[in-house]
Amino acid sequence: MIFKKRGAIIIDVRTKAEYSQGAISGSKNIPLQNINSKIQEIKKLNKPVITCCASGMRSGSAAAILKSNGIESMNGGGWSSLNNKL
């Protein structure tokens, strides 16, 4: 996974409750409804972003929001299947 090799950060856009039930080690939890308010913070990290959620729907929306704000991002899909790929 090329993004990972470039030091990508993983942002899990599920709710805090969902995230607390299991997540990718080292991922950041920023629920989808909060993503717009965190754009500047994410930009400052200056790294590509892989988004994930439960199934890939919310992470797809988050990746699109990040891309539209000039952040290199990709939808990693469901967190458990992404975790298996890493």
The string of pLDDT tens digits covering residues 19-40 is: 999 999 999 999 999 999 999 9
Note the pTM of the prediction, 2 decimals: 0.94
Q: Which of 82, 4, 80 is nearest to 49 (CA)?
A: 4
Q: Tokens at residue 71, please? A: 């952040």
- pLDDT score at 26: 95
| Domain extents in the chain | 2-85
- pLDDT score at 3: 72
61 and 69 Cβ atoms separated by less than 8 Å: no
Query: Can you identify the CATH homologous superfamily of domain 2-85?
Result: Rhodanese-like domain (3.40.250.10)
